[in-house]
Amino acid sequence: MTAPATPAAPATPLVAGRDLPRGRRPARDRFGVLVEIWLRGHTWLVYGFLYLPIVVVVVFSFNANTRVTNWTGFSLHWYEFVLNSKEIQRNLINSLIVGFATATVSTIIGTMAALGIQRAPKWFRLPFDALTYVSLIVPEIVIALSTLVFFAVTIGKNGLISNLTGGPEIGLGYHTIVGALSVFNISLVLLLVQARLANMDRTHIEASFDLYGTPWRTFWQITFPQLLPAIVAGFLLSFTFAFDDYIITSFVHGTNQTTIPLYVFGALRKGVNPSTNAVAALMLFITLAILLIGQYVLSRQARRSGTAGPAGVAGMIVEQQGA
Amino acid sequence: MTARVSRRSSLLTGVLLLPASLWYLLLLVAPIIIVIVFSFGESGPTGGYAGGFTSANYADLAKNVDPFLTSLRLSIVGTILCVLVGLPLAYYIATRAGRRKSLFIVLLVIPFWTSFLIRTYAWLTILGPEGLAGFIGGVFGDDSWRILGTEWAVQLGLVYGYLPLMVFPLYVTLERMDRSLVEASKDLGAGRWATFRQITFPIALPGVITGSILVFIPMIGEYVIPNILGYGRVFTVGSALVLRFLEARDWPVGSAQAVVLVAIMLVSVTFYVWFINRGRRSRDVSML
Amino acid sequence: MADKDLEEILRRMSQTKVNRRGFMAGGALAGMAAFLAACGAGKASEAPASVAAGTPAVPGSAAPSEALASVAPAFSQEPTEGHLWMYNWSDYVDASNIEEYKKRYAVDDFTYDTYASNEELLTKLQAGAGGQWDVGAPTAEFTPALVQGGFIQKIDWSKVPNAKYIDKQFKGLWWDPNDEYQLPKDWGTTGIAVRTKYVKEDVSSWKKFFEVAPNYHGKIVIVDSPGDVFVAPLKALGYSVNSVDPTELGKARDLLMGLAPHVLALDSDQYQKKLQTGEAVLGLTWTGGLDELIQDPKTADTKYIIPSDGTLYWLDTWVIFASPPHPIAAHAFLNFIEEPAIQAQETVTNAYATPNDEAKKLIPQKILDDPTIFVPQAIFDSGLLESAKDVSTDKLRVDIWAEFKSKIGKA
């Protein structure tokens, strides 16, 4: 590809954007056109790739047939079956409990920590930050088995607590699931809120103090609304991770706490099954609904308080990745 | 007055940080310490931990290095694939999507947000005897062609699951790139490839590194994807850990494997942090 | 009715954590339902009726309801707590029996949590999951470990009079010499499954199994259970299935590593399906689900072989977990499940042999005669069957198992 003929370089150095002609491309840049086509095609392919499984699950969950891929007509049969199943109802409730409990705990604790960490002295901040990153890096399976071992040693049958109090063991249960899941999620919320705090407009706060506002009121009327997008994003993200979690839940759950992911994983061992598709589609709908609600809430919030949050929840996540 | 205020202020700080600290200490630090202690111990007659101090478990690992190799292989290839697939995508969104950028991003977040497990599960249908495998069998008459249960299916699942994590930082980096630099380069006669190599890629590099770390780390520890798409035949570190802890109740050896896994990750992250900080000092374009 | 059965089957089959037995029971349940539908049996919820309707001539059985009445609990049953929490292999109790139990003992909260292996059960109990379940059915050789950990309690036999029907052969065995902690549930073997249509050799022993394996590269399915898999090489070499001797294990390891590349998958749940489609033609499996294949004309060439160089027989046992939340209901359940008619239904559904002598009288002759389910006494006496010890934590075994797993299907 040949370079276009350019005018001889002037004596003073050229500055891009001022001296150089903008957007001028050689007339016959066929290669360039190919590249453009390739870029666009690639993008569409990738999006297709990303959405294909979702579409497959949803479409076939409406299949009237019992064979997964033989399409014989639209039907809500499997949804009926699934929603009427007592077992699935119970699993769904368990999943919702785990999701909401984890999200609530993580959001409150994570937000508090984000507010506190900026006031903390360096000797504390360093190890604390390190722990935050460790909790995000350590693979779920290691967290799962290490917390299981921890529970065994402390609240298990021959564990510390039992021996100290001489009473029965506390054992596994909702508390262990929520406890274990919250570790990662607290860090998540922490990072999101921290990022927002860092990017926040301080002038409002200063103005508030100048106007003799108390720290308490300043916080609630100025800071908190600006943090709300991050807090909400954190809550929703935590909920989704907890709701969708398999590994940690499967390691540390007790009686009667089978969740939907556990159910699906178990069903998978028996091969793909149309009713599992309906359960899967349900899960997709629920998590998608959460995301959309979050988007809506955040964009309304953004409009109201005038804070610019790009693309709502998505923006939060992207911002966080880049930060 | 200031002393009283600052003491109250410290109290407030303490209260704010207490729950998180407790959580980390009890449910992160303590478990990991216990695992480290166990990794030097011996297993009891019916499994579990029975005290003792020995480095035999780590020595054992040399014999059981296969799962680590498999996991590393899958993760490295997976990361590279994510870069290859993700970079053009991020570039397109950042530079060509114009006003619809937000829409593209949201469309990227949605799959990432919705259930991970379910999306992996969906590939069973797509790749299975009723999907791709059946299709290929019909077209080529090869009835026994399978992708499920092979490393390729797992590789696909890994890339699929973590691609958005690669695209996000890439997008952020590229989006902040000063476009006029590219134009200047082109107008000064540089070809596309040269422009890419000397302008675009170096600017995108921090994003590539960040994305790689965000993707590489979780991939090594993955258990669900190899188990579902690999039919249990693809034996990764995750599978090995589950075997040791749940099946064999060999907590000491399992703990040693877990410690090694975490060590690998810490080393990777340390390298990442070092690289990024090094970059920060010497570059004045683009940020991360 | 068949429709409801299908739904019931699908529901059961989608339960979490299936394992070998669960899968087989599920398959058997499907076969049973189809069988019932075909015979136009009436209310499937009445166990005795369905057994009678399904098979015209049941030797030695009076009218089912009479049989039921004659073994109704002679002792006075206290009212139960109304709940029963079971922790078991998946799909291991006949659904209609569960309904019957719930009705009879006024239990409307019957939960069924599942584990996929004895080791998982132990791990969960060790981690403090005790005090949350009432009954379960681990495999016999784990009884000592469970007792040692204090995870199961002694059974109050005065509340389980039907235990008297258990065959003496299963009493006083090494895992529970005084019969205090467990009640035998069912038993079976581990053996060789063959699609004789595709496998021309006569694979009558483990030794043969290893020899012909390379001829069926990529078409061999093996259950995902170390205790069972080790049986093959150890017996082929003439050692005990419970060997922990390093030399013996070393030789076994070599055999296993030679087998690994030819294995299609380790599968405790779907091996039947793989054999049915011909994806696998040779297997190291249990008997569950194979019955159905043998009865289907398309796959009637399937055979289950008890190897001539010996194999393992296993026994699953009912236990009551320590500090059960509902002890009365727990004991009531054990008593209930050993009622001959109920137990007979279990056998028909699960396709595993029952240790309950009275129940045997109510089981269709066809099943009683099936040598794969009810292994003939002659084979027992010949010493061909070894019972397992819990050697799952032996270091060398675990290492070999991990190595085997990582080499499956690799060239």
The whole-number pLDDT of residue C113 equals: 79
Answer yes or no: is A239 within a domain.
yes
Domain count, chain A: 1
The whole-number pLDDT of residue B45 equals: 66
Point out the residue among C266, C393, C401 whose CB comes nearest to the CB of B47.
Answer: C393
Answer yes or no: is A14 within a domain.
no
Query: Going from the N-terminus, what domains does chain B have, and what CATH number goes with each?
Result: 59-282 (1.10.3720.10)
**Spatial CB neighbours of A37, under 8 Å, sequence gap ≥ 6:** none
CA distances to A13, A243, B83, C17 from A95, in Å = 64, 5, 34, 17
Answer yes or no: is A173 within a domain.
yes
Q: What residue numbers bound the domain in which A191 lies?
A: 89-322
- The string of DSSP letters for A140-189 reads HHHHHHHHHHHHHHHTSTTSHHHHHH-S----SSHHHHHHHHHHHHHHHH
CATH class for domain C189-313+375-407? alpha beta
Residue C238 dihedral angles phi and psi, to the nearest 5°: 85, 20
Answer yes or no: is A118 within a domain.
yes
Choose between C64 and C37: higher pLDDT: C64
How much is the average pLDDT of A98-114? 94
* pLDDT surpasses 80 at B158: yes
Answer yes or no: is A71 within a domain.
no
* pLDDT surpasses 90 at C11: no
* pLDDT surpasses 50 at C31: no
CB contact under 8 A, B254 and A145: yes
How much is the average pLDDT of A207-231? 78
**Spatial CB neighbours of B190, under 8 Å, sequence gap ≥ 6:** A3, B198, B199
The whole-number pLDDT of residue A106 equals: 96
How much is the average pLDDT of C11-16? 33
How much is the average pLDDT of A64-87? 74
Q: How far is CA C392 from the centre of its chain?
A: 18
Residue C260 DSSP symbol:
G
**CA gap C129, A151 in Å, rounded:** 10
Which of C81-90, C93-102, C187-196, C296-305 shows the lowest mean pLDDT across its residues? C81-90
**CA gap A68, A279 in Å, rounded:** 14
How much is the average pLDDT of A112-140? 89
Mutate to test the interface with C, among A65, A145, A157, A264 (most CBs of C within 10 A): A157
CB contact under 8 A, C128 and A172: yes
* pLDDT surpasses 90 at C83: no
CB contact under 8 A, A172 and C114: no
Please tell me whether the interface predicted TM-score (ipTM) of this complex is above 0.85. Answer: no
**Residue with the two structure tokens 């995000």:** A136
* pLDDT surpasses 70 at B281: no
CB contact under 8 A, C14 and A263: yes
Which of B257-261, C24-28, C260-264 shows the lowest mean pLDDT across its residues? C24-28
**CB atoms closer than 10 angstroms to residue B144:** 10
CA distance C399 to chain B (A): 8
Residue C57 dihedral angles phi and psi, to the nearest 5°: -115, 105
The whole-number pLDDT of residue A168 equals: 65
Percent of chain C with pLDDT over 90: 19
How much is the average pLDDT of A308-322? 55
* Beta carbons of C109 and C136 less than 8 angstroms apart: no
Reported as a pLDDT band with limits 50, 70 and 90, residue C95 is confident
For the domain C2-56+82-187+315-369, what is the CATH code?
A: 3.40.190.10
Q: Strand C191-195's sheet: what is its strand order?
A: C263-266, C220-222, C282-285, C191-195, C302-305
Q: What is the CATH number of the domain that holds A107?
A: 1.10.3720.10
Which of A102-106, A166-170, C397-401 shows the lowest mean pLDDT across its residues? A166-170
The whole-number pLDDT of residue C129 equals: 65
Residue B27 DSSP symbol:
I
Mutate to test the interface with C, among A89, A270, A282 (most CBs of C within 10 A): A270
Those chains having 3 or more beta-carbon pairs within 8 angstroms of chain B are A, C
Inter-chain contacts counted by CB atoms under 8 A, chains A and B:
290
Q: Tell me where in chain C the CATH 3.40.190.10 domain(s) lie.
A: 2-56+82-187+315-369, 189-313+375-407
Chain B residues closer than 8 Å to A54 by CB: 111, 114, 119, 122
* Beta carbons of C9 and C29 less than 8 angstroms apart: yes
Mutate to test the interface with C, among B43, B233, B234 (most CBs of C within 10 A): B233
Reported as a pLDDT band with limits 50, 70 and 90, residue A28 is low
Reported as a pLDDT band with limits 50, 70 and 90, residue A21 is low
**Spatial CB neighbours of C210, under 8 Å, sequence gap ≥ 6:** C232, C233, C236, C255, C258, C259
User: Is the Cβ of A9 closer than 8 Å to some Cβ of chain B?
Assistant: no
For chain C, what is the mean pLDDT? 77
Q: How far separated are the first and last CA of chain A, in Å rounded?
A: 38
| Helices and strands, number each (H, E), in chain B | 14, 0
The whole-number pLDDT of residue A322 equals: 52
Chain A residues closer than 8 Å to C323 by CB: 168
The runs of H, that is alpha helices, within B98-200 are 101-113, 116-127, 132-140, 151-176, 179-187, 192-195
What is the pTM for the complete model shown? Answer: 0.77
How much is the average pLDDT of B21-29? 93
The DSSP element (H or E) to which C187 belongs, if any, is strand C182-189
The whole-number pLDDT of residue B174 equals: 87
Tokens representing C326 are 């509902």
Q: How many CA atoms lie within 13 A of B12 on its CB side?
A: 13
Q: Which of C343, A149, A249, A155 is nearest to B47 (CA)?
A: A149
**CA gap A228, A211 in Å, rounded:** 23
Answer yes or no: is A124 within a domain.
yes
The whole-number pLDDT of residue C205 equals: 92
* pLDDT surpasses 70 at B282: no
* Beta carbons of B212 and B199 less than 8 angstroms apart: no
Choose between A125 and B114: higher pLDDT: A125
* pLDDT surpasses 80 at B259: yes
* Beta carbons of A215 and A224 less than 8 angstroms apart: no
Tokens representing B228 are 């579902």
**CA gap A156, A168 in Å, rounded:** 9
| pLDDT tens track for C318-365 | 999 988 888 999 999 999 999 899 998 888 887 788 888 888 888 888
How much is the average pLDDT of B143-153? 78
